[in-house]
Amino acid sequence: MSARRPWLVPLTPLYGAVVVAKRRMYRWGWLKQKHLPAPVISVGSVSAGGAGKTPFVAMLARILHRRGYEVSILTRGYKRTSEVTERVEPYDNPEWHGDEPVLLAQQSSAPVFAGADRYEAGLMAERDKAQGHTAVHLLDDGFQHLRLARNIDIVLLTLEDAEDMLLPAGNLREPIAALGEAHVIVVREEEADALKGVLDRLRARWHGFATWVIRRSLTLLDGTEVVTLPTLPLAFCGIARPANFTKMLTASRYEPMETVAFADHHLYDDNDMTRLIDRADRIGANGFVTTEKDAVKITPEMRGRLSTIGPLIVAHLKVELVAEKEAVTQLVAMVGELDRRKGR
């Protein structure tokens, strides 16, 4: 493993000890969890961003909805300016709610409730649900949010996670060994073989967990329409792992001239548009390409400014389960068992 911030390596054992102690205190009941009436399915990761949780949560919400569940999504809304717990509508202000809650509201067709207190968000969701429907909550980025009890833990694992170090030297929020507490571990199709050894070691130490494989692909859009693409695009994004965005564009045979990387969850302003336009003009780009998470923060006025160079193309990340029927059968069986235990 290589450290991203090698000067902080001496602090990683202390950080790791605190994280492990926190999990044990919840497991032993020394720290109390809050329980919602309806089942809670947590979707999380061991890394500080970049695992692809948002499109996975949206996909899972759609699958559960098709199976007859009334799904709600509970999320913190990272870097949101709002301090209250509230429902997020598809075209609300991403600065107020956070970019990911707004994107989830647009993509999942499920009600999204954002707030620092996910228990309060869950209660709000249950007050809104239709009578007689079977409710289930999807807890977005919930693996470390132990204050809210969950019934099923789904954790996304990437090869970059397996090769990373704990905070503060790396970007891991927990040791890889913590994955042994998951009910389901999700890996990417192109990384499944490389991660087999990691998964085998986890199974040897912990009780069994299911492994799901996801396939990811990009569709390039201008708004909601597939269009003729700029031949010389300048890419930009404010995500945790910008190199992965460039890599996926290249794999889709749409290699950008250059990628301008902003901080994760960056909120764009006119100065950013000036920077992008100047850079595009300097390298001879004839358009732009960005992620969905970034696109929700680009206002019509900003798009108008970018159009002086060329169209803004949004890369839509499609996530699907390989062997979906088997994976969904496992999930529905787990949720159904919870329903039976509660006498639903």
Q: Specify the 3-state DSSP secondary structure of 302.
A: helix
Question: Domain 6-214+320-341, CATH 3.40.50.300 — does that match?
Answer: yes
Degrees, nearest 5: CA angle 28-29-31: 115
Record: fold of 218-319: Rossmann fold (3.40.50)
- Boundaries of every domain in the chain: 6-214+320-341, 218-319
pLDDT tens by residue, 63-83: 999 888 899 999 998 878 888
pLDDT tens by residue, 306-338: 999 999 999 999 999 999 899 989 988 887 665
Q: What is the mean pLDDT of the chain?
A: 90
- pLDDT-based confidence at residue 179 (cuts at 50, 70, 90): very high
Predicted pLDDT of residue 298: 96
- pLDDT-based confidence at residue 225 (cuts at 50, 70, 90): low
Domain 218-319 in the same topology as domain 6-214+320-341: yes
Q: Specify the range with the lowest mean pLDDT, choosing from 28-32, 41-45, 201-205, 232-236.
A: 201-205
What mean pLDDT is predicted for residues 246-250?
Answer: 94
pLDDT tens by residue, 117-143: 999 999 999 887 766 567 899 999 999
pTM, two decimal places: 0.92
Reading the block at residue 197, the tokens are 């050894």
Residue length of the chain: 344
Predicted pLDDT of residue 344: 46
According to DSSP, the residues that pair with 320 across neighbouring strands are 215
Q: Which residues contact 194 (CB under 8 A, 6 or more apart)?
A: 159
Reading the block at residue 98, the tokens are 């956070």
Looking up tokens 């798009």 gives 303
Degrees, nearest 5: CA angle 254-52-256: 20
pLDDT tens by residue, 154-171: 999 999 999 999 999 999
Nearest-angstrom CA–CA distance, 307 and 290 = 14
Q: What spatial distance separates the first Cα and last Cα of the chain, rounded to whole Å?
A: 47
2, 12 Cβ separation under 8 angstroms:
no
Predicted pLDDT of residue 131: 60
Radius of gyration, alpha carbons of the chain? 21
Burial class (CB in 10 A: 0-12, 13-18, 19+), 193: exposed
Nearest-angstrom CA–CA distance, 312 and 18 = 44
